[in-house]
């Protein structure tokens, strides 16, 4: 078992395809949503912006000023060893998940293009 800071004691398990599909279903009303497997876990993109990091069947959201009021009181945790602290999004609350994903899709920076 690992200690993941504020989050909890738990045994790590890889995110299942069923869970990542459930996450996307919960925010399905939003346009331009896709996911990509990365390092054995998943990143959900909204408008080509990295929005939700899904690790160990848990949805993490980067802490950002535009989410302050909405995510006050949310659990926090670390998606992987060495990561900065993130909010933990209650994906079962579809309405809140949509609002959070839409805000990220409008405000988060686009990933930088890789030099070729």
Does some domain include residue 12?
A: yes
Does some domain include residue 90?
A: yes
- Per-residue pLDDT band for 8 (boundaries 50, 70, 90) equals very low
Does some domain include residue 115?
A: no
Q: pLDDT tens digits, residue range 83-112? A: 999 999 999 999 999 999 999 999 999 988
Alpha carbon distance 19, 67 (integer Å):
24
Alpha carbon distance 51, 13 (integer Å):
21
Does some domain include residue 50?
A: yes
pTM value? 0.85
Give residue 25's domain range. Answer: 2-107
The answer to whether the CB of 107 falls within 8 A of the CB of 64 is yes
The answer to whether the CB of 18 falls within 8 A of the CB of 8 is no
């Amino acid at each position: 078992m690992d200690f993941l800071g504020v989050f909890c004691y738990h045994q790590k398990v890889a995110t299942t395809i069923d869970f990542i599909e459930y996450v996307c279903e919960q925010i399905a009303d939003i346009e331009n949503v896709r996911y990509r497997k990365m390092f054995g876990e998943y990143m959900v993109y909204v408008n080509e912006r990295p929005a939700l990091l899904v690790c160990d069947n848990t949805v993490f959201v980067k802490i950002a000023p535009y989410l302050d009021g909405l995510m006050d009181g949310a659990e926090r945790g670390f998606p992987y060893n060495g990561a900065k602290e993130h909010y933990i999004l209650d994906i079962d609350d579809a309405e809140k998940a949509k609002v959070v994903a839409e805000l990220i899709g409008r405000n988060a920076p686009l990933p930088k293009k890789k030099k070729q």
